[in-house]
Amino acid sequence: MKIQRETITIVTEAEWHVYEILRDLPAYLRFGIEVPPPTSLPKVLADRLYRRWWAQTYFLQIASQSLKSFVNNRLNKNRDEVRRKTARRGWTTDIAESGGVLEPMDFAPERRQSFADLFGPRKSEVRGNGGVIIWEFSQQTFNRLGALLQSISMDEHSSDVISSAQLRTIDTRTIAALCAYGEPLSDLDDVMSLIAAIILFLPEHARDLLCDKFLPDFQLTCKIKRLDGTLTPPLDLECLRPAGVH
C-alpha cells in the first residue's frame, strides 16, 4: 500500500477568524456585519469549508440521505463490514489453530464495480429546460478520483475494480466531525471505505458525488498559530465555538 500522509499547513489565528466568519455567513449577513472577501481565506481553510459543504449539504442533496446515515447503515451496521473492521483486506483476524495461518473470510457475495465501466470513456449529459446541456461527464471528469484510488490502493491494479474487500466501518465520531466541521479523514482506510461504499452502494449517484468538480480533498488539514505562538488543531477551536448541529 502506498503511504500517503496528511498535508498540514500552518495558518494564523486572524486567518482562522476569517474562516469562522465565512463559515457562519448567514448569521453575519442577518445582523449586517461586514464580511471579508473569500479571497482572503487560505486554500486549506477554503477546502475545509468545501469539505463540510460536500459532507453536510451536497451529499444529502444528491443521495437523498445524510452521509452519517449512509455510513451507519451501509458500513457500521452491516454485519459483514463490522467483521472486516480490524481485518487486513480480504482476510480474517482469527488465527487458524493449525499452523497459525490467516484464513479467508466467509462473507456475503462480494460486491464489485468496474471503475472503467462506471467512470470510463462513455459520456452522459444532464439537460435543462429547452434541451440545453448543463452538465457533461466524460472520462476526464474523474481524474482526481482515479489518482486518489491509485494513491491509497494496495497495488497498482486494485483500483481498476472496486470491491467489498475495500470496505471498513468508520468511526461515527469521524463522520460527525467531517459533516459538522469539515474535519479531514486522517485514516486512509476511512477514505477508501467511504469512496468504495459510494461506488458500490450508490452507483447511480457516484458520478455526481465523485467528479472532479465536487470531490473534496479528504486529507488536507492545518494547525492554527495562536497569538501566543502555540499551535492548535482546528477541531480544538471548532469545539470551543461549534458550528451547526452535531
d(CA 209, CA 203): 10
Q: What confidence tens digit (pLDDT) does each residue in 57-95 have?
A: 999 999 999 999 999 999 988 776 666 654 544 444 443
> Is pLDDT above 60 for 219?
yes
State the pLDDT confidence band at 14, using cuts at 50, 70 and 90: confident
Most confident of 111-125, 143-157, 203-217, 218-232: 203-217
Those residues whose C-beta lies under 8 Å from the C-beta of residue 116, and which sit 6 or more positions away, are 160
pTM of the model: 0.74
Domain ranges within the chain, ordered by starting residue: 8-85+112-240
State the pLDDT confidence band at 24, using cuts at 50, 70 and 90: confident
Most confident of 103-112, 124-133, 134-143, 204-213: 204-213
**Residue 242 pLDDT:** 44
> Is pLDDT above 70 for 224?
yes
> Is pLDDT above 80 for 25?
no
**Residue 154 pLDDT:** 57
**Most distant CA pair in the chain, distance:** 72
> Is pLDDT above 60 for 4?
no
> Cell 498559530, residue?
225
Indicate the average pLDDT of the chain.
76
d(CA 21, CA 145): 31
What value does the mean pLDDT take over residues 107-131?
67
> Is pLDDT above 70 for 151?
yes
**Residue 53 pLDDT:** 92
Q: What confidence tens digit (pLDDT) does each residue in 28-38 have?
A: 666 666 766 66
State the pLDDT confidence band at 202, using cuts at 50, 70 and 90: very high
